Each structure stands twice: as C-alpha cells, then as structure tokens.
Amino acid sequence: MVKLNWKNKETKNISGSESHQILEDFLEVETFYLPSIYEDDISNDSWKNMLISGDNRLVLSQLMKDYNGKVKLIYIDPPFATGGDFHYKIFIGENKEKYNAMAYTDIWREGLESYLNFMHERLILMRDLLSNDGSIYVHLDWHVSHYIKIIMDEIFGSENFRNEIIWAYPAASAQTRKFYIRSFDSILYYTKSDKYTFNDDPNIYMEFSDRVKFALKKDDKGTFYYRGGSHDGKKLSQKVYVNQEGIFPRDVWTDIPYIRANTLEYQGFSTQKPERLLKRIILASSNENDLIADFFCGSGTAIAVAEKIKRRWIGSDISPHSIHMTQKRLLDLSNSNDLIKWKEKYGRNARPFKILKIGEKGRSGQIPHDFIIKNKKDLKSQTSFESPSFNIELIKKENSVKIKLNQYINPNFTILTKNIKKSLAKWQDWIDYWAIDFNYNGKIFNNMWVSYRTPKKRELSLVVSFNYDKSGDYQILVKVIDVLGIETIQNYELKIT
C-alpha cells in the first residue's frame, strides 16, 4: 500500500483499536426536555443526545471509554486548509443588523504537515469509534482532499473506499478568468468493513433531469415515458412506468443548492452545509435510532438532520459559538423545513439533549477584533473583559413567580466601535438568549424556560411566569447570553409557602 509520510507523523494506534488515554471527564452543564408535540414522540428511552463543547481530540478520546465500536455513521466537515479565515454573522436587535465575526481560522502556521497531523490522529480515533458496519463521510475540497484520500486508505483500508462524491453547486460571484471556476466539494465515503449499511431509500433519490421530466406523462395506471425502438424498419414505442420520483443517486450531486440568506435554514455561518445534503447521507448509511456523530458540527446541520429523521446523535465543536448556534437551532427545530415534505414545516420539538464540556472551565464569548476601537486593539487579550451583569424583577404571588428581565449591563461597551455602539442603542439589543431553571439543583442547569433570537426570528420575550406544585425553598438560576456569546449567570432564592 502507498502511504503518505510527513514530518512528525504520529503512527501509534494505526494497527488497531488500542486503549486511549482518557485525559478529562465530561462535565454535564445543561439539559433540555422540550414538550412533545406528537404522541409518538413520547419515549421511555433514557438516552439523551449530546452536544459537547471542547477540542474534538479530547472529546474523541473520552468517548472511547463508552462508545468504542458503537457509532454507526460519522460525518465531518473539517477545515479544508484553505489558508483563509471564516466568519459567522452576529445579528443585533430586532432590526436584523448584522456584522461579521471570526468563526475559525484555517491558516496552519506550521504548514501542511501540522494540518495532516491534526487530521490523522482524529481519523484514527474516529475509525475506532465506528461500528463494524459503520461508515464515515469526510467533506473537503480541492485543497487537501487528495492528501486525506491517501491517509484514509491507510487508516480505513483502500478496499473500504466506496465513493468520492462530488457535490457540484453554482459558483457565487466568480471573478476569475485565469482558470476554470471552482464550484464543487469532494466527500470521501469509506466504511469500516465490507459489511455495512446502505439503504435504497426513495428519499435519497436524485431528481429526474429536465429532459426526462419533460418526457414524463400520466395515465390511470401511473407515471410513464415512451421508450423508442424499431422493428423491420418500423418505429416502435412502448410505455415504461416509473415507480420512483427520481433516480438512484450517482456520485455527482447537482440537485442540492448551497445555502442562501433567504432560506429558512440559514444560520449566518459562512461554511454552513444544506440539510438536504446530510439527509441523503444519513438516510443512506444509517437506520432509525442508530448513533450518528459530527465532531466539527459548526452550524449544526448534521445534528439537526439526525434529530429530524430520528437518529441518536453526538455533536461537538471547539467553538462555543457553534455550540450556542446548534443549541438554538435544536430549540427552534419545529419551525424548520420538514425533510420529506420540504415546503412544509417540521412541526416537532427536539428530543431530550444535554450540553457537556471538556477541557474548558466555562463557556464565554469574546469581543471580535473588528468590534474594538483602534486605540484599544493593543489589549493583551481579547478575552480580557469585565463581567456583565443584569437586573431582574421577581414577583411572588402565592405559589407562582413572575420574572421580568429589566436591564443588562456590559461594561465593555466603551471599547466598541461607533457602529457597534449605535446598533446596541438599547440594553435589549445585547440579549441573544436567556433561560431559567426554576428549581436549580446546584449542579446541572435544567432549562425550564427559554427565549432566544434566530436569524429569522428577532423578537424576544422578556417576561415569564411559573407555577410551583408544592411549597419549599427554591433556587432560581437565570442565564443570559449576549450577542458576543458572553454568558452571565445569577442565582436567586425563593420561598413558596
């Protein structure tokens, strides 16, 4: 077998699933139990899906303890080694004012070798997490797909390579006239063994071409086209009926558009992938209740799709903003597109899930460099900021409590640019998300009520009422996350008699 070698290549654990050092335990910090909208959503299953904040190298190592050989499908959309920076949109207030902020940098200052080491060690761990009948899809482009193909041949075996899928999409604002316009990504599809799941599901089929759609006709027996031919010099034709609304997918996908800002699924994340892309992958390579994982979850597309088609899932990302974005996307799932009937809304809430951390003391945002006035850009650290605070009005009446968010104070306002200050004209403009645990147990924040903004929904509720079933002493924990991702938590005591 041909192998790729580079400086400081890490080769241990390449030959099999050996034990991996567990560096740090997961810390569960928040749980979500959303009310079931449909009766068939109710389940006695104790499983809770997991959204994990932290370096995925640590996440993968820790998951080995309980999930070695148990993950049915892994999809990852890692950095492409492009040498550029990628952004997400920060939306402010109800007027949908938006500004770019750094999502992640794809610049590898130690060169290509550092990128290959980064991917190599993670792919080894992902291989060991996969079940024997599992699959992995790695989403890349022309920059490094050829390198990763050779590495995956080494790790997964060249005999387990199934497809290089080409996702072709229209080029946006292409300016070049010096070479052919680049307008596709590559998705490398491997399996763990030759016994793997692959479903001939009509919902993964590609649309008929325009030529075929034009030729299709209907009668009382169904949809058909005429197949031509000749015999003894005479032209013949016969009806051929079709049972599916499309064709089994080829390895070039031209029927899935990229994300535009006017679409319902848009999250304001520059590398966001379409839900219909992940729908095809997950339906083809897994079954209901199988465990799906995405360790570069970004805007949460794979997680949202896995949730909608009833897969169990684990998602992780090193960016706190990605975790926050995915969390809100799950909370707003009922308002998103249905994957089978795309023009309709999904209409269901997400099943129970929990937020975990690893390798972090806490989730906090940072002030983007471009948000800071010039003479303050020499601050030793962008993450060095004063802690915000907020004021609430708490009104108790018999066995109920009413909580109103009255004020939010971010002392870092003075170092922001003039445009950002103007957009944050009211204190309410700071608030992106706030949530309440009306009976905090001192360990895990149980999200019992939440109000949040999305790119499409900018309104925010600032008042909530809650009824207690019995008397007692209660702790109320209130969490506020502002537009910069800065999280502030305050605790209140309440006595119900």
Q: Could you give the domains of the chain?
A: 27-199+251-357 (3.40.50.150), 210-241 (no CATH), 369-496 (2.60.40.10)
pLDDT number for residue 482? 95
- Tell the residue number behind the tokens 């009310």, with chain if given: 35
pLDDT number for residue 217? 82
Residues 49, 50, 56, 61, CA torsion sign: negative
pLDDT number for residue 17? 44
Of the candidates 150, 146, 147, the residue with the CA atom closest to the CA atom of residue 158? 150
Q: For 314-318, which contacts have Cβ atoms below 8 Å and span 24 or more sequence positions?
A: 314/49, 314/50, 314/52, 314/63, 314/67, 314/71, 315/50, 315/51, 315/52, 316/51, 316/52, 316/53, 316/54, 316/56, 316/59, 317/53, 317/56, 318/53, 318/54, 318/55, 318/56, 318/104
For residue 173, count CB atoms less than 10 angstroms from its CB and return exposed for 0-12, middle for 13-18, buried for 19 or more.
exposed
Which residues lie below 8 Å from residue 204, measured CB to CB, with a gap of 6+? 249, 279, 280, 283, 284
C-alpha–C-alpha distance, residues 475 and 494, integer Å: 6
What pTM, to 2 d.p., does this model score? Answer: 0.91
pLDDT number for residue 381? 45
Q: How many beta carbons lie within 10 A of that of residue 472, not counting itself?
A: 11
Which residues lie below 8 Å from residue 420, measured CB to CB, with a gap of 6+? 92, 99, 371
C-alpha–C-alpha distance, residues 305 and 270, integer Å: 19
Which residues lie below 8 Å from residue 472, measured CB to CB, with a gap of 6+? 495, 496
Helix (H, G, I), strand (E, B) or coil at 18: coil
User: What is the tens place of the pLDDT at every residue in 223-257?
Assistant: 887 777 655 656 557 777 787 788 899 999 999 99
Which residues lie below 8 Å from residue 452, measured CB to CB, with a gap of 6+? 328, 331, 332, 432, 433, 434, 460
Asked if residues 423 and 456 have their Cβ atoms less than 8 Å apart, the reply is: no
pLDDT number for residue 209? 78
pLDDT number for residue 234? 62
For residue 232, count CB atoms less than 10 angstroms from its CB and return exposed for 0-12, middle for 13-18, buried for 19 or more.
exposed
Of the candidates 197, 151, 422, 404, the residue with the CA atom closest to the CA atom of residue 289? 197
Of the candidates 19, 16, 35, the residue with the CA atom closest to the CA atom of residue 449? 35
Q: For the chain, how are helix, strand and coil distributed in percent, rounded to 5? A: 25, 35, 45
C-alpha–C-alpha distance, residues 356 and 166, integer Å: 34
Give the CA radius of gyration of the chain: 25
pLDDT number for residue 238? 79
User: What is the tens place of the pLDDT at every residue in 355-387?
Assistant: 999 976 545 667 888 888 876 555 544 445 678
Exposure on the CB side of residue 269, measured as CA atoms within 13 A: 23
The stretches in the chain having pLDDT less than 70 are 11-23, 37-44, 171-174, 229-236, 360-365, 375-385
C-alpha–C-alpha distance, residues 331 and 34, integer Å: 8
Helix (H, G, I), strand (E, B) or coil at 445: strand
- Tell the residue number behind the tokens 């749980």, with chain if given: 31
C-alpha–C-alpha distance, residues 453 and 96, integer Å: 10
C-alpha–C-alpha distance, residues 90 and 108, integer Å: 25
Q: Where are the alpha helices (DSSP H) in 111-251?
A: 112-129, 145-156, 210-215
pLDDT number for residue 190? 98
pLDDT number for residue 122? 96
Asked if residues 212 and 205 have their Cβ atoms less than 8 Å apart, the reply is: no
pLDDT number for residue 375? 65
User: What is the tens place of the pLDDT at every residue in 266-321?
Assistant: 999 989 999 999 999 999 999 999 999 999 999 999 999 999 999 999 999 999 99
